[in-house]
Amino acid sequence: MPSVRRVSHEFLQRQGLTTVFGNPGSNELPFLAELPGSFRYVLGLHEGAVVGMADGYAQATGRPVLVNLHAASGSGNAMGALTNAVASRTPLVVVAGQQVRSAIGPQANLANVDAPALMKPLVCWAAEPACAQDVPRALAQAVFEAQLQRRPTYLSVPYDDWAAEADENCLPVLDRSVRLAATPDAEQGRRLAGQVAAARRPALVLGGDIDSAGLFDDAVRLAERLGGPVWAAPSQFRLPFPNRHPLFRGVLPAGIAPVSRAFEGHDLVLVLGAPVFRYHEYLPGRYLPEGTRLIQVTADASAAARAPMGEALVADPGAVIELLVKALDAPKTSVGDYRPAPEPLTAEGPRLHPEQVFAALRDALPRDTAYVVESTSTNSSWWRQMDLRRPGSYYFPAAGGLGFGLPGAVGVAMGQPGRPVVGVVGDGSANYGITALWTAAQHRVPLTIVLLRNGTYGALRWFGGLLGVPDAPGLDIPGLDFTRVAEGYGVPSRHVTGIDELRAVLAERPDHPRLVQVDTALTTPS
C-alpha cells in the first residue's frame, strides 16, 4: 500500500490543487516530502501575505486553493487575512502541521492543542483526523466543503500521519467528485418571475458573488430587461456591473438609513448574490421604506438565514438570472449610453489628487486590467474616475482587513497570467502585506503596484469626524519610503512626482513586478 502522503498528493493532483501557497515549519515538512514535480509551492514570508496571495489566486481562478501553514503560530498569523476570505466566500483549503499524535496530549513544543477550535469561528469546517488512515478522506472533505460552502476550511494533520501506510479504504476518495446544482423548481421560478414582472419600479442590488460566479455580463442582460436602477451591495469586494453603465447608481452606502433612503419609491428590491446587507457605519433607521419589498437570491444559505428582513430564495443566482431574462418582456426603450468620467479634480501644491492618478490609470492601461484596491480614503475618487466594463476588474478586501491589497494583487496576477494587473495600495495598507513583494520578485510576476503616499491613515481621519473623535493619536505615518522598501525585496521601483511622468511610466509594460510611489493629497472616502 502507498503512504497516506502519496494518496493525499495524488488526490490533490486529481482535483487540480497543485499550486500551494505556504510558509512551512518543522511540522509541515513531512507533508512536503516527495512532492510531485507538477506541484508549485509559492512561498510567502508571512502568513497574512500567504493567505492574501492565495485569496487573490483563488478568486482569479474561481477554484479551491491549498494553503500550507505552520501549526498554531502560523495559523494565528493568518487569521486576520482569513476574515477577508470568509467575506468574499473564497474556497481556501488550509492544511496545517501538527505535532506527532503522542506528543499532542503532553503539549510538546509546536503541539496545537485542540487545533480545530482555534480556527472554528472563521472556517466552515475544521478537523484533525482521528487516525492516519482517515487523512486522505478528511483532506477530500476539506476541499469539497470549501468548494460547496464557498468558505475556507482547516485541516490539522499530525506529522507522523503522512508516512503511515494507507489502507485500501483510503483509495476510493481518489475517484470522488462533488457537484452542486441549485436551480429553483418550476413553481419557485414562476412565482419569482411573477413577482418581478408585477413590480412597477423594481431596483436591482448586486453582490460580489455575481462577479465571482462569472455572471457580470448576465447581470447586464437582466438589468437591461428590468430597465431600473442597479446598485452594488454595500461593502463591495468585487465589481458586479460596469460602473459607467447608464443604469448603474454606484455602491450602496454602508448604513441602514442611507440604504433605506436609496430604495425610496421602489416597490421591489431584488438582491442577487449578496448578504442583506453588510452595513458598516452605524446609521440607524428603518431597514426598508414603507411599501418596499425585498427579495434576496443567494447561493449562501447562511446569508439568507441571517438577513434581518425580506424574502429569500437560496439558489444559484445564475440560474435565476437566466429564468428571469427568459420570463420578462424585452424593454421598450434603450437604456442609453455609458456615462463619461468627469474631469479629474486637482490638488494644491506638489501632490497629485487621487482622481488624477485614477484618470491616468483609466487612460493609460488596457481595458481588461484587473485592479486590486486597498486605499481607503480614495473610494469616491476611484469610482468618479474609473471605467470598468469587464468581469474580474476589481478586488477589494472583503472584510475590510488590511493586508489583502498587495498580496491579493500578486495572487490575481499569478492566477490570470497574461491579464494586466495593478495593485492600488495606500501607504498605510501596504505595510500589512509588504512581504508579498518578495514573492512577486522571486516569481517575476508582471504586476504594477501604485503606492498612494498621503502620509496618513486617511480613512481613519474621516471616521474620526464621523464618530466625534477629532483628536485620536496614531493616525499619521510619516517617514516611509516604499521605493527603498521595494528595492530591498527585489522589486524595481520609481518615485513619480508629476502627472505626465506618471502617465509615461504607466504606459510601459514591464515583464516583472514594479512599484510606483506617488505623493497624493488627502481626500475623503465619500
Q: Which residues are catalytic?
A: 25-26, 28, 47, 70, 280, 400
Q: Considering CB distances under 5 to 8 angstroms, the limit depending on partner class, which of Mg ion, ligand TPP, none binds residue 459?
A: ligand TPP
Pick between residue 410 and residue 434 the one whose CB is nearest to ligand TPP. Answer: 434
Task: Show the cell assigned to 171.
Answer: 483509495
Residue 229 touches ligand TPP, criterion: CB under 6 A: no
Residue 407 touches ligand TPP, criterion: CB under 6 A: no
Cα angle for residues 143, 59, 210 (degrees, 5° grid): 105
Q: Which of 51, 295, 320, 402 binds ligand TPP (CB under 6 A)?
A: 402
Rounded least distance, CB 462 to Mg ion, Å: 11
Q: Which of 30, 52, 80, 240 binds ligand TPP (CB under 6 A)?
A: 80
Pick between residue 325 and residue 477 the one whose CB is nearest to Mg ion. Answer: 477
Pick between residue 420 and residue 455 the one whose CB is nearest to ligand TPP. Answer: 455
Residue 454 touches Mg ion, criterion: CB under 5 A: yes
Burial 210-227 (b: 16+ CB within 10 A, else e): bbbbebbebbbebbbbbe
Grid cell 492574501 — which residue?
52
Q: Considering CB distances under 5 to 8 angstroms, the limit depending on partner class, which of Mg ion, ligand TPP, none binds residue 460?
A: ligand TPP
146, containing H or E segment? helix 135-149
For residues 195 and 312, give the distance between their C-alpha atoms in angstroms, rounded to a whole number. Answer: 13
Residue 83 touches ligand TPP, criterion: CB under 6 A: no
Q: Considering CB distances under 5 to 8 angstroms, the limit depending on partner class, which of ligand TPP, Mg ion, none binds residue 400?
A: ligand TPP
| Short-list 267, 271, 192, 197, CA closest to 234 | 271
The stretch near ligand TPP (CB under 6 A) out of 159-167, 325-333, 427-435, 440-448 is: 427-435
Task: Show the cell assigned to 100.
Answer: 506527532
Please work out the total of residues on this chain that contact ligand TPP, with binding judged by CB under 6 A: 20
Fill in the amino acid letter for 179: R
For residues 54 and 35, give the distance between their C-alpha atoms in angstroms, rounded to a whole number. Answer: 19
Residue 459 touches ligand TPP, criterion: CB under 6 A: yes
**Phi, psi for residue 453 in degrees, rounded to 5:** -105, 100
DSSP for 392-440, written as a single string: T-EE--TT--SSSHHHHHHHHHHHSTTS-EEEEEETTGGGGSTTHHHHH
The stretch near ligand TPP (CB under 6 A) out of 14-22, 291-299, 309-317, 400-408 is: 400-408
For residues 185 and 258, give the distance between their C-alpha atoms in angstroms, rounded to a whole number. Answer: 35
β-partners of residue 383 are none
Residue 427 touches ligand TPP, criterion: CB under 6 A: yes
- If DSSP codes are grouped into helix, strand and coil, which group holds residue 109? coil
The stretch near ligand TPP (CB under 6 A) out of 200-208, 333-341, 452-460, 478-486 is: 452-460
Q: Fill in the DSSP letter of residue 66.
A: E
Rounded least distance, CB 377 to ligand TPP, Å: 3
Residues forming the site for ligand TPP (CB under 6 A): 80, 375-378, 400-403, 426-429, 432, 454, 456-460
Residues forming the site for Mg ion (CB under 5 A): 426-428, 454, 458
